[in-house]
Amino acid sequence: MMHLLCLSGSLRAASASSAVVATLCERLHGVATTSRFDIGALPHYNADLEPPQAVLALKSEIAAADGLVIVTPEYNYSVPGVLKNAIDWASRPAYASVLKDKPVFVASVSGGALGGVRAQSHLKYILAGTLARVFVWQEVIVPHANTKVVDGRLADEAITAFLLDGIRAFIGSIARG
């Protein structure tokens, strides 16, 4: 069975990004195995440091996964610094990291009407710089996200169905190689 590592780009306990990740992990039961990683446990990126244990754990989990799913909120029209920090750690050594050729599915959330589409665009650009294989599909966005989360889960069935359609297509693309 395919294994996906799912990352939320937010540190907030009640974040919409984490709610989307939780919903996805539950709904994929029987379709794929999933795991999560707390990117908040990573220190600030510093190339002078030997990678600390948390960084080695992240890299190990990325390497072991068949694909990576990232759900990002939009902060000031872009991705949160904590998510960029995780990518910076994982992308080393440059052009030969665990992200090189790693299939990645991107979704975004926002309290606004655009659902984080600007952050999603920035994230895809950042991932291109790591040589990751960003899955090309329709953008999965969750607009007005805070109104669509109930008990830590995405409660909008139309968006959830669209997200799951995208993830199934993503899984199919990985299986086909």
Q: Give the residue carrying structure tokens 């599909």.
A: 137
Is the pTM above the cut of 0.95? yes
**pLDDT digit string, tens, across residues 56-108:** 999 999 999 999 999 999 999 999 999 999 999 999 999 999 999 999 999 99
The structural domains of the chain, ordered by start, are 3-176 (3.40.50.360)
Report yes or no: 72 and 122 within 8 Å, Cβ to Cβ. Answer: no
Residue type, 20: V
**pLDDT digit string, tens, across residues 46-66:** 999 999 999 999 999 999 999
Question: Which string of DSSP letters, residue by residue, matches 34-99?
Answer: EEE--GGGSPPP-TTSPPPHHHHHHHHHHHH-SEEEEEEE-BTTB--HHHHHHHHHHT-STTSSTT
Beta bridge partners of 5: 35, 68
Q: Is the pLDDT of residue 177 over 90?
A: no
